[in-house]
Amino acid sequence: MVNLIPAWAQHFDAFWDAIQRRNLWFIKLRYGAVIMLLMFLFLTEFSLGLTFSKVQSTALIVITIMIQLYNLILHLKIKSIRCDSDKFNPLHFSLVQMLLDLIALGMIVYYTGGIETPLFMLFIFHMIIGSLILPGFIINSIAIAVIFYFIALTIGEYFGLIQHQAIIGFLKVPLYNNLKFVIVYDTIFSFVMIMSVVLANTIASQLYKMEQQLVESIDKLNRAEVEKQNYVIGLVHEIKSPLVAVHSYLDVILQKFLGPVDKKVEEKLIRARSRSDEAINMVNDVLKVSKLRLLDEISVGKIEIKELVEALINNFQDAISLKNIKLDFFDNRKLFSEITGDKFLLEIAFSNLLSNAIKYVSQNGKIQIILSNRNSGIELEFCDDGIGIPSNELPKIFNDFFRASNIKSKNYEGSGLGLSVVKHVIEKHGGKIEAISPSRLGNKNNPGSAFFIFLPV
Amino acid sequence: MALIAIIDDDHDILDASSLVLNSRGFKVITALNPDDGYKIVKENKPDLIILDVMMNEPDDGFYLAQKFRKEKILTPIIMYTSVSKSFGMDFGVNELVPVNEFVEKPISPDQLIEKVEALLSRKEGRS
């Protein structure tokens, strides 16, 4: 088998897909060509007063039937073509299609007047399409063969070696017996043919190469991201081990396993433990985000959001009562809607939002969670009357390690990874998250904020 | 009194955990790597094993736990992990880790004692 696969086609699957799609497209186009040929045969006779001889019309009908036949066969066979580079593959299939078409076209050109027919332009059209798919050496050889055929046909007709098939009523003066016309015509035809093929082939392969490079750089970037996340995980684990050891010793001392501790010393040690807690929490957050980034697949199942949210509120009941927060959950859906997604990841996302809300509302604050239908999915709103988010910082809150200036100043703990995790999870589910501040629950002192999550059903 | 084996590649964790458990009257034996861990378990037949994941070792804690179970050593195992099990990322869904309890580090002394006592009493109840 001649190897038709170009050097740039390394990502085989995508390449074969594209070729097969084009092959199918040509088959469909050919059905149209058959209809157009038939229309050409009948309409020109009626509307333009052109007459075909008996031989011509018989030949053209036979050719049309032939095209229709081989097109049907191609259509039947296309599915059984395997994308195997060593055997008969879609590229060979393209080549076969093209050769069949060129043979049919050569016959049509002959039976519609040789040099006098405008249908010869279809040669150029065919060859340009061929140059987009087939490698240069093949398409160039075919171009030369077509040129030879055309020259041989026109010269042959001029010298009377081949019988000329004129369309009666088309031209006032015959052209096939005009040598100057034949020479100029053949020259221009050859020139245009070669230029079109070479240019189309060059541009196409450049485009393919660029596409290829793009795919490769995306691959490279993805690999680099995975490496980076693995590196971060490794590094953070290394940092966590000594932190854990410090923490364990502080616990052992503070819980008096080594005997009594001086009051002043104890106070400072408690402080030290709380700082090491902070560091460990941060490290855990980084680990979670990195692992989440590495986790490309989500384990999918049917989830009833209402149950999930209710369970979540239950988990946070202690914290909610401690601050005496008025928390309401409304299910305003008119349509019952189950979400397809990863229950575990969504739990993390929602619990991040709820714990933020609890953290940032003041004593006796208000939190509302509202579930409703929106478009073809559901919307979940987490609304609070907490400290809110400065409006110029709203666009940044979903970035890694971003913490709004008003929380930094008020000594809230946190690494700033929570919302970036939430966004990541929601986007993995094909959803969207938006934040506004102030919220409808807010007031002058506590503007509040609201997060809207949209999830497709 | 019950004998507890602690296997962890961090010397200070071994020290701190031993301190806590000793104070409650447990006897403790320790090992700093999976190989030694395997040996002390084989030789001393402890009532409970506390096993760290030990990511850096070629045969990590999971491997060792599986090895014990394969050899019909059914001693209860508490596994120390670095990332919360509740986050579910350390283990493949179908990966069977034959341990009785996962504990995310750091664990407070109270919790450690509570878990150890709970597992030991469950064991007694069974036998």
- Say whether pLDDT at A451 is over 90: yes
Which residues in chain A are closer than 8 Å to B88, comparing Cβ atoms?
344
Top-confidence residue, A418 or A78: A78
Residues in chain A closer than 8 A to B105 (CB atoms): 240, 244
What per-residue confidence (pLDDT) applies to B84?
A: 47
Q: How far apart are the CA of A335 and the nearest CA of chain B, in angstroms?
A: 32
Going by C-alpha positions, the residue among A380, A311, A316 that lies closest to residue A344 is: A311
Tokens of A203: 């541009």
- pLDDT band at residue B116, thresholds of 50, 70 and 90? very high
The residue ranges of DSSP E strands in A182-316, in sequence order, are 301-303
Q: Does residue A60 carry a pLDDT above 90?
A: yes
Integer Cα distance of A35 and A37 in angstroms? 5
B106 vs A374: CA distance, rounded Å: 43
Instruction: Indicate whether B89 pLDDT > 50.
Output: no
**The predicted structure's pLDDT at residue B55:** 65
Nearest CB neighbour to B109, from listed A252, A280, A288: A252
Helix (H) or strand (E) segment spanning residue B26: none
**Nearest C-alpha in A relative to B17:** A248
**Two structure tokens written together for A75:** 């259509």
| Lowest-confidence region among A75-89, A404-418, B102-116 | A404-418
Alpha-carbon distance of A304 to A340, in angstroms, equals 9
Q: How confident is the model at residue B85 (pLDDT cuts 50, 70, 90)?
A: very low
Strand partners, B102: B79
Burial of A232: CB neighbours in 10 Å, binned 0-12, 13-18, 19+:
middle
Say if A270 is an interface residue toward chain B (CB within 8 Å): no
pLDDT of residue A329: 94
Contact: A244, B23; criterion CB under 8 Å: no
Q: What is the pLDDT of residues A102-122, one digit of tens each?
A: 999 999 999 999 999 988 899
Please tell me which of the candidates B13, B17, B87 has its beta carbon nearest to residue A288.
B87
Contact B105 A244 (CB under 8 A): yes
Contact A252 B12 (CB under 8 A): no
Task: Inspect the interface and report whether the beta carbons of A237 and B110 lie closer than 8 Å.
Answer: no
Question: Which residues of chain B approach chain A closer than 8 Å at the C-beta?
Answer: 10, 12-13, 16-17, 19-20, 23, 55, 82-84, 87-89, 93, 105-110
Beta strands A450-456; A432-436: pairing state: antiparallel
Minimal C-alpha gap between A349 and chain B (Å): 12
- List b or e across A362-395, with b for residues whose CB sees 16 or more CB atoms inside 10 angstroms: eeebbbbbbbeeeeebbbbbbbbbbbbbeeeebe
pLDDT band at A341 (very low <50, low <70, confident <90, very high): confident
At A179 the pLDDT is 93
Across A272-283, average pLDDT: 88
A78-94 pLDDT per residue, tens: 888 887 777 888 889 99
pLDDT of residue A304: 87
Nearest to A305 by CA among A339, A260, A275, A256: A339
Question: ω before B58 within 30° of 0 (cis)?
Answer: no
Q: Does A248 touch chain B (CB under 8 A)?
A: yes
Instruction: Say how far apart CA A242 and CA A181 lie, in whole Å.
Output: 92
Please answer yes or no on whether B84 and A284 come within 8 Å at the CB atom.
yes
